[in-house]
Structures are given as structure tokens and as C-alpha cells.
């Protein structure tokens, strides 16, 4: 089976300072992949290279079996994303914002109400998005990312700034999207506990280097919690990491 995301030996420097160093990553089709790292570890930089917001110096990126290059990449039409803080027209309603996005994407309107309903914001009517709570705006961002019923979602820190209830709601929505639409999901976060509840596989990055990819089932079977595993990899405590599975 083709991987949803396949990164090989990707590196990137800015003004001579390396921000990504020989990254390799595999996200299997149909799984939720949690990309874990502290603030500044390189999560957002990698997400941006996947979507070619920034270009890598070396290495290759394949998304849904297609190699990404600096030219036109039609495969992006099969991918939804939240890479940076979502921006909306605050004076327009959720539906009107979705209409504008459809025009920009050259897509039809037929999925708008389905996605607004899926994300629980179909009843907001004419309410201006500027009056939405942060949680509602994040739901709208997910609805927009799902408009084309993509095969892959790339989500950079989608729970940042949410209160506990908002975090739970986003988690449940992502699990539902993964289950009902079989959408592969790559989600980054620095919140260990949350990723452990949603991800099938965890990739850990630190100072621009990929330290490990590990199955949550494998950790659970060995009686290892994600926090101890993470701290062990970083040398900050926990059990002896040498006996832990590191993946590829």
C-alpha cells in the first residue's frame, strides 16, 4: 500500500542555520499520525515543506504517491490542511466563507452543508464568523479543509489555544473524520497526552531531527507511556530508552 506521506532525507537551512536535518517520515494510508515536538523543534517547518510553502534544500516528499516538486502539483487538490492560523472574512457567515473558498479552489458548493454539519456549525446561520469562539473558528477551519473530501489532512497544531472542552471536541471530530471518510491525518502538537489519545503512530522531532517513529499499540503492549518514551529519547528522564522501539 502506498504511504499517504513519505519523506526521504529532507533538509532545510535558513541563512545558514539548519532547521530540518535529514528527516525521514512515513504516514500510512488511513492512519492518524501524531507529530510530536516542543515549540521550535521543527514541526511547522516540516509541515510547510510538505505543502511547499517553503522549499527543502535536499530530499524528497511524496504525498499520496506523487512526488512534490516546485511546479504544479495536482495532488494538492486531494489534500486538506491547516498549516498556519486560519484566516476568515470576519463579517461573513460560515457558509459565505465556505463559498468563497470553493470559488478560490474551483470547487462546487455541494459539500458545504455536509461539512458544516459534520463539524457541528451548520446552525450558525447568518452569524458573522468574527463573533465565533476560538473553538467554533477551529471547527470552521476543519470544515474548510474537508470541503473536497480529501484523502489526506495535514494539520499543524490545530488544538493550540483551545480550552479543555474544545480540545476534546476537536479530538472526537478528527477520529470521526478518520473513521467515516478513511482520511489519513497528519497532526502536529506539543501536547503528549492528546496525541497519545488520537494517534496510531507517533513521530518525534527535536532540534530539526527525527528521533523516532513508533506505534502507540507497540508502546501500550510494552507498558510504556508516551511521556516516559519521549523524555527518555530526549535524555530528560523516564525509563532507559535503549530498550524502546524506535520504528524505522
Reported as a pLDDT band with limits 50, 70 and 90, residue 86 is confident
CATH class of 5-243: alpha beta
What per-residue confidence (pLDDT) applies to 247?
A: 53
Asked if 65 and 73 touch (Cβ cutoff 8 Å), the reply is no
What are the backbone dihedrals phi and psi of residue 247, each rounded to the nearest 5 degrees, phi first?
70, -150
Nearest-5° angle of CA 229, CA 231, CA 235? 115
pLDDT digits (tens, 9 = 90+) for 188-247: 999 999 999 999 999 999 999 999 999 999 999 999 999 999 999 988 544 433 334 455
**What gap in Å lies between CA 201 and CA 219, rounded to an integer?**
10
- What residues does each domain of the chain span? 5-243
What are the backbone dihedrals phi and psi of residue 6, each rounded to the nearest 5 degrees, phi first?
-140, 115
Asked if 124 and 136 touch (Cβ cutoff 8 Å), the reply is yes
> Beta-strand (E) ranges in 28-161?
32-36, 58-63, 66-67, 79-82, 152-156
Pairing of strands 17-27, 32-36: unpaired
Q: How many CB atoms lie within 10 A of CB 81?
A: 20
The chain-wide mean pLDDT, for the chain, equals 91
pLDDT digits (tens, 9 = 90+) for 7-25: 999 999 999 999 999 999 9
What per-residue confidence (pLDDT) applies to 71?
A: 79
Amino acid at each position: 500500500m502506498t504511504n499517504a506521506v513519505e519523506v526521504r532525507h529532507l533538509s532545510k537551512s535558513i541563512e545558514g542555520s539548519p532547521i530540518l536535518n535529514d528527516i525521514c517520515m512515513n504516514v500510512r494510508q488511513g492512519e492518524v499520525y501524531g507529530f510530536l515536538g516542543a515549540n521550535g523543534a521543527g514541526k511547522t517547518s516540516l509541515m510547510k515543506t510538505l505543502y511547499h510553502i517553503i522549499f527543502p534544500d535536499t530530499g524528497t516528499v511524496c504525498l499520496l504517491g506523487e512526488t512534490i516538486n516546485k511546479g504544479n502539483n495536482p495532488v494538492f487538490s486531494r489534500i486538506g490542511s491547516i498549516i498556519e492560523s486560519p484566516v476568515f472574512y470576519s463579517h461573513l457567515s460560515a457558509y459565505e466563507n465556505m463559498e468563497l473558498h470553493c470559488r478560490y479552489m474551483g470547487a462546487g458548493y455541494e459539500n458545504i452543508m455536509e461539512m458544516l454539519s459534520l463539524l457541528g456549525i451548520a446552525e450558525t446561520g447568518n452569524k458573522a464568523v468574527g463573533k465565533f469562539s476560538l473553538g467554533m473558528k477551529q471547527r470552521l477551519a476543519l470544515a474548510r479543509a474537508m470541503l473536497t473530501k480529501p484523502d489526506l489532512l495535514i494539520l499543524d497544531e490545530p488544538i493550540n489555544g483551545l480550552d479543555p472542552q474544545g480540545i476534546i471536541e476537536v479530538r472526537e471530530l478528527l477520529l470521526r473524520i478518520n473513521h467515516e471518510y478513511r482520511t489519513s491525518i497528519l497532526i502536529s502538537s506539543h501536547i503528549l497526552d492528546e496525541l497519545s489519545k488520537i494517534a496510531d503512530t507517533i513521530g518525534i522531532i527535536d532540534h530539526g531531527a527525527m528521533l523516532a517513529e513508533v506505534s502507540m499499540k507497540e508502546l501500550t503492549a510494552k507498558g510504556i507511556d508516551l511521556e516516559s518514551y519521549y523524555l527518555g529519547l530526549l535524555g530528560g528522564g523516564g525509563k532507559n530508552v535503549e530498550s524502546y522501539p524506535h520504528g524505522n
